[in-house]
Amino acid sequence: MKKCALWMVVLAFLCGSATMIYAAEEATLPSEVPVKGMVTMLDLGATKCIPCKMMAPIIEELKEEYKGKAAILFIDVWEHRDEAPKYSIRAIPTQIFYAKNGEEAYRHEGFMDKASIVAELAKLEWSER
């Protein structure tokens, strides 16, 4: 039990430090959701929720990997409370994937690992060709 508690503290610390960087970069709202003419993944969460903190480094990696190919966006719905109703979310984190034409293609609630996000983005990229 003590080992489990120790690991939870270590994980919270590591995720927390990554999230602080993520939060600083994401304090403003995206100007356009979905991004016109581009596959878009919108992550709706909060910088202080545990599963959202776990996703923060994944989102940052994907932003770099998909730069110019897909838009990877984040909105902190605790900081911007008026945004949650716009997307009809019931839980955080929620990921919404949009096709290039702006239509919602897929929605997921809860933590989503990198491989699953990449798979959804690939489906949208291939369906657009």
* Mean pLDDT per 10-residue interval, the chain, length 129 residues: 43 44 58 94 96 96 96 96 95 97 97 97 78
For residue 24, the model assigns a pLDDT of: 41
Tell me which of 35, 42, 46, 52 is the catalytic residue: 52
pTM of the model: 0.77
Tell me which of 33, 42, 44, 49 is the catalytic residue: 49
Is 52 a residue of the active site? yes
Per the CB < 8 A criterion, the answer to whether 112 and 93 are in contact is: yes
For residue 128, the model assigns a pLDDT of: 56
Is 15 a residue of the active site? no
Provide DSSP, 71-83. Answer: EEEEEETTTSTTT
